[in-house]
Amino acid sequence: MQLPGGAVRKGETANGETRKEENPLRTQKARREEPSPGDEYVATLRAPSSVALSLEGRGVTAKREARAGRSTACVDKTGGRFDRTMSPMGTTVKKRVMAAVLAVPSFIVSDARGQVVRVAPVVRQTATPEGSTRVAGATPPASAVRVAARSTFYVEIWATQPGAPPDGLACVYVDLGYDRTDLMDSSPPLQASGLFSINVVTPVFDDPSGAVGDIGGCQPIPAIAGLGVGEWVLVDRVPMTAIGTGSNITVSVSDANNVFAGTSIIGQLNNVPPATIDFQTRLFAIGDCLTASDCDDNDVCTHDACTAGLCGNPSRLYGDVNNDGNIDIFDVLCALDGFAGVFSVCAMPNVDLAPCPGGDGLIDIFDILAVLDGFAGVNGCGCPAGP
């Protein structure tokens, strides 16, 4: 029906025929193709308060409260990745589909210990070289029990997937915590492993609180199938600076607690539940030494000592193995203890007196005789302090 002014009713043509209205958004969705490896999807959302994106064919969804001027990203339910840049005008979302992620999903099954993934912080004095970032077996790389004072050292994040399906790790993200902020400082930026070089969120360094948030990454395309299955793999690395000395320093990892950053397995629709992830802890010390044995200067005329993580080597009397200023029965007893392999009172380097000038790394009858010489006033190695 034609209205005054030549207008027509909604849904009718000028001659009165009924016409079907098309929804442009629905038409646009119908033209979308099934995602395939390497595809990109770009959409601009003009809703600065909240955003939602749905890609047809795979049920790829993401929803997040958005703040103007903030850049972020997320791993979607297929294990793909959203790169998102927020501005006052809206939010741009870019979807990249990872090759190995498009496998048919299956159920996640934990191992006998109820774990699907294990993540461990590993303390290193020197960074793991890029060619050694995959270690076969169920045991993670050894973590240093001590790092040198006033040095740069590293806390590395390693992960393994003991649970099923054995398709491998797609992404790993955790928060790192350390309890002695008076002894160590984190030093940005992170040093990503080549195995997980795609960083979808910005890490948060909060050194006063002893935390670095959102550490990790995702596999690049093409993904390595089975990565982390039957092996430990390096995910990320945090440079640290030793600013003090002390012991019993704790470093730990925990869930990233970020909707856009989680731990996922290739081919799975959801991130691994934090309850099935073994987040581990390590203890270490900062200093030149843990015990006097770390301070051996190969000189029988000095006393090797470790105090507050620092080495000292003051002069002493020849034969004064406990360094109390006297050569007496207690020094003889220390030598006898050392001969029996007991070093609870006197450290091994301090009892190792023979031969001059630095001993031989063994406690034997000659060391006992050397203490007896000192007890008798014989300076067997001509030590400046006597006797």
10-55: pLDDT as tens digits: 445 455 554 444 443 333 333 333 444 444 333 333 333 222 333 3
Q: Are residues 257 and 301 part of one domain?
A: no
Q: Are residues 365 and 239 part of one domain?
A: no
Q: Are residues 338 and 359 part of one domain?
A: yes
* Model pLDDT, residue 189: 94
Residue 6 located in a structural domain: no
Residue-by-residue pLDDT tens, the chain, 387 positions? 544 444 445 445 455 554 444 443 333 333 333 444 444 333 333 333 222 333 333 333 333 333 333 333 333 333 343 333 333 333 333 333 333 333 334 455 555 556 799 999 999 999 999 899 999 999 999 999 999 989 999 999 999 999 888 899 999 999 999 999 999 999 999 999 999 999 989 999 999 999 999 999 999 989 999 999 999 999 999 999 999 988 899 999 999 988 788 899 998 878 999 999 999 999 999 998 888 998 999 999 999 999 878 899 999 999 999 999 999 999 999 999 999 999 999 999 999 999 999 999 999 999 999 999 999 999 999 999 999
* Model pLDDT, residue 102: 33
Residue 122 located in a structural domain: yes
Q: Are residues 272 and 217 part of one domain?
A: yes
* Model pLDDT, residue 126: 96
**At which of 243, 262, 286 does a domain end?**
286
Residue 246 belongs to domain with CATH number: 2.60.40.680
* Model pLDDT, residue 332: 96
Residue 104 located in a structural domain: no
Q: Are residues 322 and 273 part of one domain?
A: no
Residue 380 located in a structural domain: no
Q: Are residues 241 and 153 part of one domain?
A: yes
Residue 146 located in a structural domain: yes
Residue 111 located in a structural domain: no
Q: Are residues 365 and 232 part of one domain?
A: no
Q: Are residues 259 and 133 part of one domain?
A: yes
Report the number of distinct structural domains present in the chain: 3
Q: Are residues 303 and 249 part of one domain?
A: no
Backbone angles phi, psi at 371, to 5 degrees: -65, -40
Residue 3 located in a structural domain: no
pLDDT digits (tens, 9 = 90+) for 157-187: 999 999 888 899 999 999 999 999 999 999 9
**At which of 286, 301, 316 does a domain end?**
286
* Model pLDDT, residue 368: 96
**At which of 286, 316, 333 does a domain end?**
286
Residue 383 located in a structural domain: no
Q: Are residues 359 and 234 part of one domain?
A: no
Task: Give me the domain span that covers residue 221.
Answer: 117-286
Q: Are residues 265 and 124 part of one domain?
A: yes
Residue 326 belongs to domain with CATH number: 1.10.1330
Q: Are residues 81 and 46 part of one domain?
A: yes
